[in-house]
Amino acid sequence: GQNIDQPTEMTATEGAIVQINCTYQTSGFNGLFWYQQHAGEAPTFLSYNVLDGLEEKGRFSSFLSRSKGYSYLLLKELQMKDSASYLCAVDMNRDDKIIFGKGTRLHILP
Amino acid sequence: GAGVSQSPRYKVAKRGQDVALRCDPISGHVSLFWYQQALGQGPEFLTYFQNEAQLDKSGLPSDRFFAERPEGSVSTLKIQRTQQEDSAVYLCASSLGTFSYEQYFGPGTRLTVT
């Protein structure tokens, strides 16, 4: 079966840095998405990694290691509005479905 | 421009009732996806359309679930004879291409079956 693991909850302080990890075991792999979802709202796209390495986009960066089945989302200079769930999702191949992890609820403390 | 819209935003149904959930994708988006999201879980894939063709319905939990997109734009997810386990948020997403493209999600319909 397909398996995507990420921590259920994390807490961090405003202004700090937090890393949210995601490991996956899937029958195919094309790329990995990160989405942000505020409570009661729709998920919004953050990043899509296909190649190994770190991709930086403002305060958010995403890393992928295909050989290790591992990704992380790095959030810098945390703001209160970053309190949300962060969903890791694997795109297994071009014609198959995306599998989402259960999400990591991030709490930001002042 | 307008994003993905869904209606109704909230639906309460009595067990055994039929419900219809509507999704208006972003204009010009070829692909449309339906997901089911239980509380505290990630979205789970239900079905996928490319234009009017339903290319994958492997995630539909039972034959009580039916989806259509007759003109390749608006889509409807229908649930017949609702059960309590159908209570969830139903998310619709659209994209320019298939699964490797960014998906734009609607706000979801929260279905509660009593």
Residue B3 CA to residue B91 CA, distance in Å, equals 13
Asked whether the beta carbons of residue B98 and residue A94 sit closer than 8 angstroms, the reply is yes
Q: What is the pLDDT of residue B98?
A: 74
How close A90 comes to chain B (CA, Å)? 10
Longest dimension (CA), chain A: 44
Beta strands in chain B (DSSP E): 5-7, 10-13, 19-24, 31-37, 44-50, 53-56, 65-68, 75-79, 88-95, 104-105, 109-113
Q: What is the pLDDT of residue B1?
A: 55
Distances (CA, A) of B65 to B34, B38, B101: 11, 16, 26
Residue B46 CA to residue B17 CA, distance in Å, equals 20
How close A42 comes to chain B (CA, Å)? 5
Residue B88 CA to residue B67 CA, distance in Å, equals 17
Asked whether the beta carbons of residue B107 and residue A99 sit closer than 8 angstroms, the reply is no
Tokens of residue A42, six digits: 């729709």
Query: How many A-B residue pairs are in contact by the CB < 8 A criterion?
Result: 56
A20 and B CB contact within 8 Å: no
- The 10s digit of each residue's pLDDT in A30-60 is 999 999 999 989 999 999 999 999 999 999 9
B75 and A CB contact within 8 Å: no
Residues of A numbered 49-108 whose beta carbons fall under 8 angstroms of chain B's beta carbons: which are they? 87, 89, 91-92, 94-103
Q: What is the pLDDT of residue A1?
A: 76
Q: Which residue of B has its CA nearest to A86?
A: B42
Q: Which of A48, A92, A102 sits opposite B42 (nearest CB)?
A: A102
How close B65 comes to chain A (CA, Å)? 18
B91 and A CB contact within 8 Å: yes
Q: What is the pLDDT of residue A92?
A: 85
Q: What is the pLDDT of residue A95?
A: 62
Residues of chain A with pLDDT under 50: none
Beta bridge partners of B81: none
Asked whether the beta carbons of residue B45 and residue A97 sit closer than 8 angstroms, the reply is yes
Residues of chain B with pLDDT under 50: none
How close A91 comes to chain B (CA, Å)? 6
